[in-house]
Amino acid sequence: GRGVRCSSSGLRMLALGRAARSRATSLLCRTAASASAQPSPQAEHRQRTAVTNQLWRQRLASASHNNNSSGHGSKSANGGGGSQKAHAVLTKTPRDSLTEAFLPFAEDQALRSDYLTSTGKVRVGKLLEDLDALAGTVAFRHCDDGDPDSSPLTIVTASVDRIDLHSRLYPDKNYRLQGKVSYVGTSSMEITITVDSPLPSNSTPSSSGSSSSAQSPAGAELLLSSTFTMVARDPFTNKAHAINQLKPETAAEQAAFERGRRATLLRKERAQHSLLRKNPSPTESQVIHELHLIASQKDRAKNNNSSNGNSNSSAATVYVPMEDTVKRSLVVCQPQERNMHNKVFGGFLMRQAFELAWATAYVLGKKHPHFICVDDISFQRPVEIGSLLDLEARVVYTPDPSGFMIVSVVADVINPQNGERLTTNTFYFTFFCDNPQMPRILPRSYADAMLLIDGMRRFNCGASQDTEPPTLLHQLVPRPAATSTTQTQTTAPPKPAA
């Protein structure tokens, strides 16, 4: 079929620098049709990661091939010159959208240096950018109807339902990113993306993966699993557009399809029990009341010039007001950050949010935080080029005394001329910090208390999920008993042995 199937024939990446420096990296990608697609200026407009550059070049080459084959590419590109042919709705298999990309860090030192942090670890923010680009390519391949006369649908990221680490990422290993469509609704599709690494020849996988929601082949270790929800829109009306249906071919694909169906229903159920719709449960209200009493005690101690409440004793629990953890970043969204629909690239937003969240966790934990998972990134509206993007991060929950932190990042677009502020994205990141004296978060307002309860729900929901192989969260926290959507476990998990 048409489109990209990435693998190991030697297609090279070109990384562009401000000083017009060019060098080749060994991202190993191949296309099922042709491995000679030329780079597009739009895809190379800024120094994105090697994976993102390659995926975008191949998508643009495929779109250009469609337009050229139709004999009237300008009409397909901008909608002029007559009516467009209706986009056909076909039935495809997960195999049709399967896309892979490779990060050969062990062999390519130059590529590895692009993904390193100041402490020599893998820069997760860049990997998140690659995951979003891969999800877009997978969705593009699934929605393609194979007809050069029909205009490609506009694909947008609706949400990132979950990104879990199963093991730590190290910069001296080779990694494979693999994505495919696992569930399809009417105009939306669920895309499962995994990152794995080949095992040494004398090693065996830690789990058979027979019941895993995101499997890796024999001889590979699953390191990361993620689920993206993409939505297709008509390129001219911007309304939701029906997409190709999905026909699972194997028992594993059928199981993944059913999981996607259940996840869709569960998201709707959780939305009905959102704190914006219903009051906190009695147990959650008790937690809020106890924290209120602690805050009142601290205020009285402060007025009496007493140390009671935050004692200097090493065994005393330290409480930090939630508003004291807030960190902000104001970003001007330049044209270099645009995607193929001339909006700000979602992966860029994810990277900006992650790095602000990491810095926020670092300030509170006083030690380098380890990324654990992403929970429910919602993309409420696109971000226009030229926007002022205000990112506000805060630690909303620290389950005592585990060392975990849930950091919320809210992205608002500001219009300086009229003062209008619109929320475009909300992110939730979980970090672990090996600090036995991790402060506990103290809400000082009812709004902050609702943020804390929401963070507590997310943490306990992630800890109660049944995954195989286990995630890092499950490895560090004993798995609690399953709870219903309306019930939330509030007992703090024990300190991890790690």
Lowest mean pLDDT among 216-220, 390-394, 444-448: 216-220
Percent of the chain past pLDDT 90, that is, above it, reads 46
pLDDT of 449 > 90? The answer is yes
At what angle are helices 346-365 and 124-143 packed, to 10 degrees? Answer: 150
CB 275 within 8 A of CB 205: no
> What confidence score (pLDDT) does residue 381 get?
87
From 134, 133, 153, 135, select the one nearest 143 (Cα to Cα).
153
pLDDT of 490 > 60? The answer is no
User: Mean pLDDT, the chain, as a whole number?
Assistant: 79
DSSP string, 334-348: -GGGB-TTSBB-HHH
pLDDT of 343 > 50? The answer is yes
> What confidence score (pLDDT) does residue 377 get?
86
- Give 312's pLDDT tier (boundaries 50, 70, 90): very low
Using one digit for the tens of pLDDT, what is the confidence trace for 148-190? 888 888 888 889 989 999 999 999 999 999 999 999 999 999 9
How is the beta sheet containing 99-104 ordered, strand by strand?
99-104, 174-184, 188-198, 220-233, 154-165, 370-379, 420-432, 404-415, 388-397, 327-332
